[in-house]
Copies of this chain bind each other. A is one copy, B any other.
């Protein structure tokens, strides 16, 4: 079955000592499912996967898969540098019972299209689950080319792609040339109505943690062909998305965005602590106050 709809990358609530906060995580899952999402993507970039040790990752997998109990599909990121390391994460995810795997191109090591293809082929052989490519050049410094994706789609290696490249022209070209069973999901928060208009199947928005209802309404409007309503919802969410800048330039863009998502979830009463994993810089009081202002403006507080 082709993956469609709103599949947020689930934030990973932490305790002040940087452990996984299980009760907050299950509340977050409830918040998302109440919001009407169609699936959950754990251990993605917005989940701070790059910051979580393997033990934390297993705790997240077990907590979410157990709590969701099959109500919606759960995809798991297997973010690591190269194949053998990724395969360890794949096996852990399979044991935990996830429904699909999301993997990037190799990173840190210098790579090559032939090596990227072998990487995905090897993952798919071991996973025996649908595998989605995660196209995230800002993190892995390689753009997955359309022709490579099409080759991996037609040979059954990949079930779809999460496109966080920001290249909407490339996204569209892929949409028009893919096999119909290949799922194309945009990782954009701010051009979702356009991506759906182009023919994308779904959206994986980090901001969907903060306002899942908004993205669910957007998707439903688009599916119903009510593009004006989709646009209104999208523009409201674009304004809300400004919260990702509250920490700049005192900290990096990751610290600011993930800190703001968690501060918003904390202010909305979903999670117990706004803690982000070290070495991210925490938001200060003033920055947190500005997150609250963005929530209020969006009608979320």
The residues of A with any CB-CB pair to B shorter than 8 Å are: 18, 45, 50-54, 56, 79, 81-85, 87-88, 106-112, 114-116, 118-119, 122, 138-141, 166-169, 172-173, 176, 188-191, 193-194, 197-198, 227, 231, 235, 238-239, 250-255, 277-281
Closest 9 CB pairs of A and B: A112-B252, A110-B254, A194-B194, A118-B279, A119-B279, A50-B81, A168-B168, A169-B190, A50-B109
Given A53-B88, A108-B50, also A191-B190 (CB < 8 A):
no
Q: Which residues of B contact A110 (CB under 8 A)?
A: 138-139, 252-255
Q: Report B-chain residues with C-beta under 8 Å of the C-beta of A139.
A: 108-110
**Contacting residues, chain B, for A253 (C-beta < 8 A):** 110
Minimal beta-carbon separation of A99 from chain B (angstroms):
24
Contact B54 A88, beta carbon cutoff 8 Å? yes
Please tell me if the beta carbons of B118 and A277 are within 8 angstroms of each other in the complex: no
* C-alpha spacing A82/B87, complex, angstroms: 20
How far does the alpha carbon of A253 sit from the alpha carbon of B279 in the complex, in Å? 29
B172 touches A84 (CB 8 A): no
Q: What distance in Å separates the Cβ of A283 from its nearest Cβ neighbour in chain B?
A: 13
> Per a CB cutoff under 8 Å, which of B83, B106, B169, B238 touches A173?
B238
Number of copies of this protein chain within its complex: 4
Cβ contact within 8 Å between B81 and A51: yes
A169's partner among B18, B107, B188, B255 (CB-CB below 8 A) is B188
Q: A191-B168, A191-B169, A197-B193 are in contact. Are A115 and B251 (CB under 8 A)?
A: yes
**Extra 4 A-B pairs, beta carbons < 8 Å, given A108-B140, A169-B190:** A83-B277, A109-B252, A110-B254, A122-B278
Contact (Cβ within 8 A) A52 B107: no
In the complex, which of the residues B112, B254, B281 contacts A109, with contact meaning CB atoms closer than 8 Å?
Answer: B254
With the chains together, A259 CA to B53 CA distance in Å?
A: 30
Residue of B nearest to A87 (CB): B53
CB distance from A236 to the nearest CB of B (A): 11
Knowing A190-B173, A251-B115, the reply to whether A85 touches B51 (Cβ < 8 A) is yes
- Can you offer 26 A-B residue contacts whose CB atoms are under 8 A? A50-B108, A52-B85, A54-B88, A79-B108, A83-B279, A107-B107, A107-B108, A108-B108, A109-B139, A109-B252, A109-B254, A110-B253, A110-B255, A111-B279, A115-B251, A115-B252, A115-B279, A122-B278, A166-B167, A166-B168, A166-B169, A169-B189, A173-B238, A191-B198, A197-B197, A227-B227
Q: Residue of B at shortest CB range from A123?
A: B279
Nearest-Cβ distance from residue A191 to partner chain B, whole angstroms: 5
On whether the beta carbons of B115 and A277 are closer than 8 Å, the reply is no
